[in-house]
Structure 1
């Protein structure tokens, strides 16, 4: 008889395999061990068909052939490991597998790596204009600070939003902000509508620790210096 394609399914594997009907059950078990990792003596086999699950077992497995079972193409052959959980091999645990790390000098020689692609495209540290671009961004922030008259102690509003008024408490670099090249402006807002309490990444730039978030760090172009008084929410209420 011709081989029959079946789906072999176990706890850790699922694959299509061709099964020869002339095999005995014992032969099938031995063939399944390298596929599933389950020893023949610990395998509980069943064939899932339209009529239900049919156990593949016999008193004499060395003399019982698979022709005794309804092997339908693409039926599911389930392999259950009957060993106690502690005795099974955990194939998903890679903690004991030695990791291979490609030496840096070998990686730099490769022509199909991300590093090689960055070199070819002149990106990141391979961009010959990178230093000048960084300096240009730093200079642009400094120019905005001078042009806008940004100084510690001055009143301002942030982002053009009239309800975000406050006092400038810090002007300079903030290393705790990712990609923070250039100057930032730290503003203590009048209302607790900020992002922090004057500290960021564990470093305090002004004030004392507080649960109220009056602080915000923004780029100079978002700060508008002016005589912005503290808003009085009761100002527009009629007298009673």
Structure 2
């Protein structure tokens, strides 16, 4: 069995699959997870040791089954499922939830809860997100781990950032806290990097959380990827983008 991170615009979950799964079987399983019809899918395979990602469009390429059979799934860490049907229920829900002021597709809470074909129903049936029996326990455990991590970090001290699949980067820890524009649960670290390996100037969506620092020298990183200590002196290294920061 292999474990893949399955993502779409509405879902993010780790799932196990057999290594010899066919493309047809994979699409069927992805349908139960994301609610996206196989004929509407565009799959982006994310490889562990490569920045190159494979794109597969099952409904539009006759040779995809043969191509897929040649892929070593043990080298794949995730698959992103894009819905190419703009009129699908999943895309309508995405449009509806993107803004409370959206004048397009809208459902009242009662109508939304009653629709058996809604993404909410898919999540209920597949025990995803808050419908996972272990969701609350996992979330509480994660919050405790974040609290423990906060106690180990010191603002204003040298730091090291190690995100999955990326080289180590170093700089200064300038901020620890929540960023409401993202969510009200996670704790983020504001980093001033030694090199222009960041993504901002210490601000997010117009709110300045530290600095300002020179653009591209600042970033917000999930707390579990950060360590502080005087030993983390500057060094030069090649840097690349990461999905674990904004």
User: TM-score band, normalised by the shorter chain?
Assistant: 0.3 to 0.5
What is the TM-score normalised by the length of structure 1? Answer: 0.44
What is the TM-score normalised by the length of structure 2? Answer: 0.43
Larger radius of gyration: 1
